[in-house]
Amino acid sequence: MPEPSLLERTGVSKATFERLVAFRRDLHRHPELSFEEERTAGRIAAELDRLGIAYRSGVAGTGIVADLPGREVGPAVALRADMDALPIAEQTGLPFASERDGVMHACGHDGHTSMVLGAAELLAAGPPPPLPVRFIWQPAEELGEGAKAMVEAGVLDGVGMIFGGHVDRHYPAGAFAISDGAVNASTDEFEIMIAGRGGHGARPHEALDAIVVGSLLITALQTVVSREVDPAHPSVVSVGSFHAGSAPNVIADRATLEGTIRAQHPATRAHLCASVERIAKAIGAVHGAEVTVKVIPGTPPVINSPAMAELARRAARAIVGESGVVPLHTANMGGEDFAFFLDVIRGCYVRVGAQVPGREGFPAHSSRFDIDEDALAAGAAFFARVAVVAGEALLEEGRG
């Protein structure tokens, strides 16, 4: 007998799959930036009305929160999707490419939104889940601010566990990458302002060159990760912006450096932030320049506990079997504000395979990014199944 197709393995009907594809393509045509997701939220609300699922709109600005009752009363299992697009001009050539100039779903959030909506349809059509399920459609993940705003709006009240995920071009549709420990890095930024003393380029001894101080600082910052951090702990310090000077024959009196600090371990994160400030001020002192350092906190690292990762693996195995569940191949240094949810309650963040067959894989945030839409069925089935598995686990804890 031939192997069953991915759609057959997920248990998602052809009609439901076609609705998810159409929904995702509609969102892709009409992308909206962070905290501007009004149309997207309206489309989600219309589908929830069709399914008869109660919801609240306008949460943290444009967020949607829906609740499906469970078989028993108790803490809910939350399923989260992000909704926002990026300020990127699309170059995919897809028939459903963005119709908004300079705005594109280049990170797959149209897919995430569709998957959680698909899970809502699957759960609403079947027997009640063991415990209530809360569906969270969150704005502004790309700014790293939406999840925090949703938490502050109380979306986790009465929730026992939360699950989220991201499409990933490194894995084929039907594969789930689920790992214990850190799966995303923290995303702090820094700004270093150097005040020297300007002068004529022909008489450097009369000046204090802010460009020289900045250049030395950039070089010194490269030693923080290589000499101060355990090599087993993935970390990054990158200077992405260096502004100084006004003319070729003028020694700059001021310079500004901006960069990012990434870490997968909380202690390493704290050490890197402190080291950037320490090194910047020390180099400034050596050269007699006034240096001001500002570290801007970003999202924490996303860290899956072993117990929560195993619940997610159990749900994925029920859909795609043992071979379809793999660990992350490499450390992911990208950020994800799902971390703010995990700071409050237990949960797990997974990667959903979405590699487009036979095509070069363009990375997220590329103007040519796309996904294999079969991932919509796999993701919807996973989210529906993990709501059941986690609900059963919460009930078992309550009996214990």
Task: Determine, yes or no, domain membership for 1.
Answer: no
Same domain, residue pair 251 and 226: yes
Q: What is the mean pLDDT of residues 126-150?
A: 98
pLDDT at 383 over 90: yes
Q: State the CATH number of the domain containing residue 209.
A: 3.30.70.360
Same domain, residue pair 99 and 228: no
pLDDT at res. 148? 98
- Model confidence at 400, pLDDT cuts 50, 70, 90, reads low
pLDDT at 180 over 70: yes
pLDDT at res. 170? 93
Average of per-residue pLDDT values in the chain: 96
Same domain, residue pair 387 and 327: yes
Q: State the CATH number of the domain containing residue 128.
A: 3.40.630.10
Task: Determine, yes or no, domain membership for 112.
Answer: yes
Same domain, residue pair 292 and 311: no
* % residues pLDDT > 70 (the chain): 99
Which of 296, 319, 334 is the C-terminal boundary of a domain? 296
Task: Determine, yes or no, domain membership for 115.
Answer: yes
What residue has token string 């990012």?
260
> At residue 382, what are phi and psi to the nearest 5 degrees?
-60, -50
Same domain, residue pair 395 and 365: yes
Which of 270, 296, 322 is the C-terminal boundary of a domain? 296
Same domain, residue pair 314 and 198: no
pLDDT at 99 over 80: yes
Q: Which domain holds residue 273?
A: 188-296
Query: Please, which residues have CB within 8 angstroms of residue 147's CB and are 6 or more apart in sequence?
Result: 80, 138, 141, 299, 337, 338, 339, 340, 341
pLDDT at res. 220? 97
Same domain, residue pair 177 and 213: no
Same domain, residue pair 292 and 366: no
- Model confidence at 5, pLDDT cuts 50, 70, 90, reads confident
Q: What is the mean pLDDT of residues 25-35?
A: 98
pLDDT at res. 331? 77
Q: What is the mean pLDDT of residues 324-350?
A: 95
Same domain, residue pair 275 and 347: no
- Model confidence at 2, pLDDT cuts 50, 70, 90, reads low
- The strand order across the sheet containing 254-263 reads 235-244, 254-263, 188-195, 290-296
pLDDT at 1 over 60: no
Domain total in the chain: 2
pLDDT at res. 360? 73
Task: Determine, yes or no, domain membership for 38.
Answer: yes
pLDDT at 394 over 70: yes
Q: What would the pLDDT profile of 64-95 be if each residue is shown by its tens digit?
A: 999 999 999 999 999 999 999 999 999 999 99
Same domain, residue pair 160 and 194: no
Task: Determine, yes or no, domain membership for 27.
Answer: yes
Q: Which residues pair with 131 in a beta bridge?
A: none
Q: What would the pLDDT profile of 301-312 be if each residue is shown by its tens digit?
A: 999 999 999 999
- Model confidence at 359, pLDDT cuts 50, 70, 90, reads confident
Same domain, residue pair 118 and 201: no
pLDDT at 358 over 90: no
Same domain, residue pair 118 and 56: yes
Residue 108: name the closest of 385, 379, 313, 309 by CA.
379
Q: What is the mean pLDDT of residues 160-171?
A: 97
Task: Determine, yes or no, domain membership for 393.
Answer: yes
Q: What would the pLDDT profile of 40-54 be if each residue is shown by its tens digit?
A: 999 999 999 999 999
Task: Determine, yes or no, domain membership for 151.
Answer: yes
Task: Determine, yes or no, domain membership for 206.
Answer: yes
pLDDT at res. 357? 86
Which of 261, 278, 296 is the C-terminal boundary of a domain? 296
pTM of the model: 0.94
